[in-house]
């Protein structure tokens, strides 16, 4: 694993605050695709998850993946920063069916043998890894008809730039469509989630199906 990458993300992790114990609806687990609390679509974007095998690339503190597991999925969350695994295990390690590992996304996928029905990444490794490297590996580990869904800032946004400058792989909706179709995905849908306030930055949400 690239220790420089892990160190860079460890520095970012040191600035991360734990998620609130409950959301605005009083729920103790939930999935948030956006950078704003209590905002945007929920896990239904993924389709039914009960009984599905889920992989999260860049799972951070594990809260989003844990929510899917409470709905009946089994989940593996990987993150390049070792402290993220420790935090996620401490909070969610007792939940049956969830597993957290320290791994870089490309290295994990290169070594993986299992198939996943759902792959997600929320401001995670998909945003920080060259798609021509990552997408063939994701396609290779996702079952036929399985879904890949990820979110990140819209291209051109200047906020939230953790780690080294130039790490982000920002793409326009047309670029994502062409990249994903080129790597064996279909049904590519890219939406821009409006921010809660007019002057703030929205969120790009990308959905694709393994063809």
Ligand X SMILES: C[S@@+](CC[C@H](N)C(=O)[O-])C[C@H]1O[C@@H](n2cnc3c(N)ncnc32)[C@H](O)[C@@H]1O
Whether the Cβ atoms of residue 150 and residue 171 lie closer than 8 Å to each other? no
153 binds ligand X (CB under 6 A): no
**DSSP characters for 139-197?**
HHHEEEEEEEEEEEPPTT--S---SSTT------HHHHHHHHHHTTEEEEEEEEEPPSS
30 contacts ligand X (rule: CB under 6 A): no
Tokens read off for 189: 């849908």
- Measured between alpha carbons, how far is residue 2 from residues 22, 102, 110, 129, 183 in Å? 35, 12, 15, 13, 25
Nearer Cβ to ligand X, position 144 or 160?
160
* Structure tokens that stand for 146 in this block: 């399985």
Coil/strand/helix, residue 74: strand
Minimum distance from residue 136 beta carbon to ligand X (Å)? 15
Which string of x and - marks every residue 154-193 that binds ligand X (by CB under 6 A)? --------x-------------------------------
Q: Is 82 among the residues that bind ligand X (CB under 6 A)? A: no
- Around 169, how many Cα atoms within 13 Å sit in the side-chain half-sphere? 17
Does residue 129 belong to the site contacting ligand X (CB under 6 A)? Answer: yes
- Cα(180)–Cα(44) distance, rounded to whole angstroms? 21
* Binding of residue 100 to ligand X (CB under 6 A): no
- Identity of the residue, 1 or 144, whose beta carbon is nearer to ligand X in the bound complex: 1
Stretch that binds ligand X, among 93-101, 109-117, 119-127, 181-189 (CB under 6 A): 119-127
Among the listed residues 9, 30, 92, 116, the single contact to ligand X using CB under 6 A: 9
150 lines the binding site for ligand X (CB under 6 A): no
Minimum CB distance to ligand X smaller for 105 or for 193:
105
Asked whether position 73 contacts ligand X by CB under 6 A, the answer is no
Angle CA 138–146–181, to nearest 5: 60
Stretch that binds ligand X, among 92-100, 124-132, 138-146, 172-180 (CB under 6 A): 124-132
Note the residues at the interface with ligand X (CB under 6 A): 9, 58-60, 78-81, 84, 104-105, 122-125, 128-129, 162
């Amino acid at each position: 694993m690239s220790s420089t990458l892990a160190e860079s993300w460890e520095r970012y992790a040191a600035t991360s605050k734990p998620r609130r114990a409950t959301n605005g609806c009083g729920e103790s687990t939930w999935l948030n695709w956006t950078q704003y609390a209590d905002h945007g679509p929920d896990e239904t974007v993924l389709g039914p998850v009960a009984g599905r095998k889920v992989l999260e690339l860049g799972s951070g503190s594990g809260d989003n993946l844990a929510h899917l597991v409470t709905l009946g999925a089994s989940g593996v969350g990987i993150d390049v920063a070792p402290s993220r695994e420790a935090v996620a295990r401490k909070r969610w390690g007792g939940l049956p069916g969830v597993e957290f590992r320290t791994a870089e996304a490309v290295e994990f996928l290169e070594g993986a043998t299992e198939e996943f029905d759902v792959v997600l990444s929320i401001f995670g490794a998909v945003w920080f890894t060259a798609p021509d490297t990552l997408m063939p590996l994701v396609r290779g580990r996702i079952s036929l008809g399985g879904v890949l869904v990820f979110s990140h800032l819209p291209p051109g946004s200047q906020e939230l730039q953790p780690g080294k400058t130039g790490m982000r792989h920002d793409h326009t909706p047309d670029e994502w469509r062409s990249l994903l179709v080129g790597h064996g995905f279909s049904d590519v849908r890219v939406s821009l989630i409006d921010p809660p306030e007019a002057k703030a930055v929205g969120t790009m949400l990308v959905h694709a199906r393994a063809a």
